[in-house]
């Protein structure tokens, strides 16, 4: 006598209490802007960034009298928010035939979410990650439903036209680049730095933003060039100072896959939302009439920049 097990799959321990979620980075760009205090709350549809500028005309002060001179101007740029919701319906009975049945409570009616903590954490991380991408790549004309709710920075910078400094031009480095490679990456970042307007290049919050892929190409090239006399201690956190300067290079997930690079002051960027951190709020509840557990999150988000002439773009 012997066991006949040829039709059974080899046994693998499936621990229903251990669901490991892969790492999803949150919205780094939004966090940086929030640190600057540039979050406009209570925005239901659109709100303006109100900008005041003035000059100071020196006059000969060796004689008495008053001669009016100078100009103070008020301009506006609008932050238009997208109205976004995330809805999911879950029928826990679908799990009865799977190994996840062990996590279901006794009985045939399931009125609460299993792995609720892990599920909600993963869900909010996904929302945050998708917002990070939308803050840069959002375009209301996109067919991607995760990108067409509001205009992102790439679209806004493109729409600003000649007001933005274009570092990818013959005027700056003698050639228009069509890709970022190991060969040209160092010169590209140097050209972007040289293109930053002189009046803002020394500001503490001036930064060069790029995707993690571009950041990796750049750091590997610096390392292979033996530029060890510069400090790269923070590179593991996705940022460091451009060698020999006070300008930070910051890697953001929102620019991954674009080969686009943007230099600007962080304080030049403004986020609009209806309620601060509203994208982190959600509700999980049991819909008795449908016999479903449902997830609901709803929020508003938008972005814009105040001064296009303080922005340097490198778009390939």
Where along the chain do its domains lie? 28-53+75-314
Mean pLDDT (whole number) for 105-125: 84
Among 16-20, 80-84, 174-178, name the one with the lowest average pLDDT. 16-20
Closest residue by Cα to residue 268 from 214, 203, 316: 203
Rounded distance, CA 306 to CA 31, Å?
Answer: 18
Position 207 scores a pLDDT of 98
DSSP the chain: -----TTSPPP----TT--PPPP----HHHHHHHHTT-EE-S-SSEEEEEEEEE-------SS--------EEEEEEEEE-EEEEEEEEE-GGGGTTSGGGGGSPSSS---S-TTHHHHHHHHHHHHHHHHHHHHHH--TT-S-TTTSSS--HHHHHHHTGGGSEESSSHHHHSS--SS--TTTHHHHHHHHHHHS-TTTTT-TTEEEEE-HHHHHHHHHHHHHTT-TTS--TTGGGTEEEPTTSSPEEEE-GGGTTT--EEEEEGGGEEEE-SSTTGGG--EEEEETTTTEEEEEEEEEEEEEES-GGG-EEE--
**283 near 88, Cβ under 8 Å?**
no
pLDDT in tens, 245-257: 999 999 999 999 9
Q: How far apart are the first and last CA of the chain?
A: 71
The residues pairing with 54 across neighbouring beta strands, listed in sequence order, are 72
Percentage of the chain exceeding pLDDT 90: 54
pLDDT in tens, 28-37: 999 999 999 9
**54 near 277, Cβ under 8 Å?**
no
* CATH architecture, domain defined by 28-53+75-314: Alpha-Beta Complex (3.90)
Position 2 scores a pLDDT of 55
Report whether pLDDT(221) > 70. Answer: yes
Q: How confident is the model at residue 18 (pLDDT cuts 50, 70, 90)?
A: low
In sequence order, what are the residues at sequence separation of 6 or more whose Cβ sits closer than 8 angstroms to the Cβ of residue 119?
Answer: 113, 284, 295
Rounded distance, CA 268 to CA 313, Å?
Answer: 14
Q: How confident is the model at residue 277 (pLDDT cuts 50, 70, 90)?
A: confident
Q: How confident is the model at residue 117 (pLDDT cuts 50, 70, 90)?
A: confident
- Give the side-chain half-sphere CA count within 13 A for 187: 13
Q: How confident is the model at residue 115 (pLDDT cuts 50, 70, 90)?
A: confident
Among 14-23, 58-67, 82-91, 175-184, name the one with the lowest average pLDDT. 14-23
Q: How confident is the model at residue 7 (pLDDT cuts 50, 70, 90)?
A: low
Position 310 scores a pLDDT of 96
The bridge status of strand 292-305 relative to strand 82-90 is antiparallel
Q: 0.85 cut: is pTM over it?
A: yes
**138 near 152, Cβ under 8 Å?**
yes
**133 near 151, Cβ under 8 Å?**
no
Instruction: Output Rg (C-alpha) for the chain, integer angstroms.
Output: 26
Q: What is the mean pLDDT of the chain?
A: 87
Report whether pLDDT(233) > 60. Answer: no
Q: How confident is the model at residue 191 (pLDDT cuts 50, 70, 90)?
A: very high
Mean pLDDT (whole number) for 234-262: 90
Mean pLDDT (whole number) for 7-27: 58
Percentage of the chain exceeding pLDDT 70: 88
Position 286 scores a pLDDT of 87
Position 108 scores a pLDDT of 81
Q: Any idea what the Cα angle at residue 243 is, between residues 237 and 249, rounded to 5°?
A: 40
């Amino acid at each position: 006598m012997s066991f006949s097990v040829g039709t059974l799959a080899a046994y693998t321990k499936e621990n229903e209490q251990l669901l490991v979620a892969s790492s999803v980075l949150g919205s780094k760009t939004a966090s940086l802007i929030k640190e600057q205090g540039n979050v406009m709350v209570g925005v239901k549809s659109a709100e303006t960034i109100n900008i005041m500028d003035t000059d100071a005309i020196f006059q000969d002060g060796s004689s008495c009298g008053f001669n009016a001179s100078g100009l103070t101007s008020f301009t506006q740029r609008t932050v238009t928010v997208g109205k976004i919701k995330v809805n999911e319906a879950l029928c826990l009975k679908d799990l009865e035939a799977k190994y996840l049945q062990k996590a279901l409570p006794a009985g045939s009616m399931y009125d609460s979410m299993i792995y609720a903590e892990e599920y909600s954490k993963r869900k909010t991380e996904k929302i945050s990650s998708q917002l990070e991408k939308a803050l840069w790549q959002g375009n209301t004309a996109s067919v991607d439903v995760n990108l067409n709710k509001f205009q992102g920075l790439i679209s806004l910078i493109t729409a600003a036209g000649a007001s933005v400094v274009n570092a990818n031009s013959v005027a700056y480095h003698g050639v228009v680049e069509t890709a970022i490679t190991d060969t040209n990456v160092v010169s590209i970042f140097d050209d972007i730095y040289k293109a930053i307007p002189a009046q803002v290049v020394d500001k503490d919050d001036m930064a060069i933003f790029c995707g993690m892929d571009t950041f990796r190409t750049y750091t590997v090239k610096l390392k292979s060039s033996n530029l060890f006399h510069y400090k790269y201690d923070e590179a593991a956190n996705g940022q460091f100072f451009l060698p020999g300067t006070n300008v930070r290079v910051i890697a953001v997930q929102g620019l991954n896959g674009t080969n686009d690079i943007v230099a600007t002051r962080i304080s030049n960027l403004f986020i609009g939302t209806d309620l601060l951190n509203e994208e982190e709020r959600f509700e999980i509840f049991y819909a008795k009439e449908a016999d479903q557990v449902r997830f609901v999150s709803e929020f508003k988000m938008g972005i814009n920049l105040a001064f296009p002439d303080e922005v340097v773009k490198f778009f390939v």
